[in-house]
Amino acid sequence: MTVATAYEQIVLSEKSVPTIAGTTMKVVELVMAQRAHGWSPEELHFQHPDLSMSQIHTALAYYWDHKAKIDADIEASLRFADQARLSAEPSPFVAKVRSFPSAISVG
């Protein structure tokens, strides 16, 4: 179930996550791609040809109109990921690789 918003092409999921209507693309995913790569709306469209320019501009407008909340959600997600990474045990694969002597000798 989704909830309509004042933005024709943005719906809120059951957990109130803004998503581009008719897709699985969350507004935050598009924003993070733009931030990470410095992409213009045109480049976002090139990278996501399944989205129309109208959908991209609407998602970006939604972000700017709800910037404080979305930025706070991004920060909370990053803190959670950092805490999870710091508290996680190394995977069995990583532990095994670290147990091998280095194949590179210096000298």
**Cβ neighbours for 18, distance < 8 A, ≥ 6 positions apart:** 5, 10, 11, 12, 26, 27, 28, 59, 62, 66, 70
The pLDDT of residue 105 is 52
- Going by C-alpha positions, the residue among 35, 33, 18 that lies closest to residue 70 is 18
Residue-level pLDDT, tens digit, the chain, 107 residues: 788 788 999 999 999 999 999 999 999 999 999 999 999 999 999 999 999 999 999 999 999 999 999 999 999 999 999 999 888 887 888 878 888 876 555 55
Tell which CATH architecture fits domain 3-99: Orthogonal Bundle (1.10)
Is residue 73 within 8 Å of 55, Cβ to Cβ? no
Whole-prediction pTM: 0.76
